[in-house]
Amino acid sequence: MEFKVPTMAELMAAGEEPEILFWVGCAGSYDERAQKITRDICKILHHVGIKYAVLGTEESCTGDPAKRAGNEFLFQMQAMTNIEVLNAYNIKKIVTGCPHCFNTIKNEYPGLGGTYEVIHHTQLIQDLISEGKLKAEGGESFKGKKITYHDPCYLGRANGIYEAPRKALEVLDAQLVEMKRCKSNGLCCGAGGAQMFKEPEKGNKDINVERVDEALQTNPQVIAAGCPFCMTMLSDGIKLKDKEQEVKVLDIAEITARANGL
């Protein structure tokens, strides 16, 4: 990256406070594909000149997969340690790159002593667009391209956010097509509830394949995602169908970064 990503520790040492903390998440930190999304979110933050920071090595898993798997102990250990770090830095506002981190910090941390204003990166992008700070110019054109958006369960049904990601796509002047199951009726990618970390139970199909089949019915050029886990599941499905050449799976942050030439 041609700029340095600021950490909380550095800002603190310089006696400064950021406007917003970017919570990267485990997938965003370690998964190679998701790292690209992480970097694009940083590029967007840098481009619009928001004063932000990340925790870097001080960040730790939110505990979401442990909680969904039923390990409340491990979850609360993680949550309380994270809350201690966040409170020590006097964090007020957080943007996450992952709906699971978003849901956990927003809804489950307050009861354990960590109350913050939490937004998902698609909401940040929507705000920046409506404030006129982000446009879709200077980069790759998505004009007229067929895009279908996959609602992540933990952003959509779990928290009722359906409009922000769609608004971020509308600005592209692309051709948005909805899948048969979308918004509150959307179909899971198959990764939630700690499924990401285990083999699926036996059935007659994998959930991500079912979802990708549905997405392909819209004949898209791009499947837009807003979650690193959905990204993995959808990309795997597309690979399995041998459609990588025709169909790209891209996060809303990546699409925004490309459209703005970042």
Partner 1 sequence: MVAQILFLVLTLAAIALFTVNLRKIIRNIRLGKAVNRNDQPAKRLITMLRVAFGQSKMVVRPIPAFLHFFVYIGFVIINIEVLEIMIDGIFGTHRIFNGLGGLYNFLIASFEILAFTVWVSCAIFLIRRNILKLKRFSGVEMKSWPKSDANYILITEILLMTAFLLMNAADAKLQSIGAGHYVQAGAFPVSQYLINLLPSTESALVIIERSCWWFHIIGILAFLNYLPYSKHFHIIFAFPNTYFSNLEPKGEFTNMASVTNEVKAMLDPSFVPAESEPGKFGAKDVTDLTWVNLMNAYTCTECGRCTSVCPANITGKLLSPRKIMMDTRDRITEVGQNIDKHGAEHQDGKSLLDDYISREEIWACTSCNACTEACPVNIDPLQIIVELRRFAVMEESQAPASINAMMGNIENNQAPWKYSPADRFNWAEGS
* Residue of 157, 152, 171, 149 whose CA lies nearest to 97: 152
The footprint of partner 1 on residues 112-141 (CB under 8 A) is 112
Please, is 196 exposed, middle or buried when counting C-beta atoms within 10 Å of its C-beta (0-12, 13-18, 19+)? Answer: middle
Among 210, 236, 251, 254, binds partner 1 (CB under 8 A): 210
Dist. CA 12–CA 156, nearest whole Å: 35
Distance CA 6, CA 109 (A): 24
Where do runs of H (alpha helix) occur along 89-242?
99-103, 121-130, 163-170, 207-216, 228-240
- Does the protein bind partner 1 through residue 198 (CB under 8 A)? yes
| Selected binder of partner 1 within 94, 191, 234, 262 (CB under 8 A) | 191
Rounded least distance, CB 176 to partner 1, Å: 22
CB of 95 to partner 1, least distance (A): 16
Indicate the residue among 95 and 207 with the shorter CB distance to partner 1: 207
* Helix (H) or strand (E) run with residue 14 in it: none
The C-alpha atoms of residue 132 and residue 74 are separated, in whole angstroms, by 42
Q: Which of residues 82-101 bind partner 1 (CB under 8 A)?
A: none
Diameter over CA atoms, the chain: 57
Alpha carbon 231 to chain centroid distance? 9
Which of 108, 127, 140, 170 lies at the binding interface for partner 1 (CB under 8 A)?
108
Name which of residues 34 to 73 contact partner 1 (CB under 8 A). Answer: 35, 38-39, 42, 54, 56-57, 59-61, 63, 65-73
Residues 137-166, interacting with partner 1 (CB under 8 A): 153-154, 157-160
Tokens read off for 127: 């705000």
CB of 223 to partner 1, least distance (A): 17
Q: Does 167 bind partner 1 (CB under 8 A)?
A: no
Scanning residues 16 to 35, which ones bind partner 1 (CB under 8 A)? 24, 26, 28-30, 35
Least distance from partner 1 to the Cβ atom of residue 145, Å: 25
Report if residue 81 touches partner 1, rule: CB under 8 A: yes
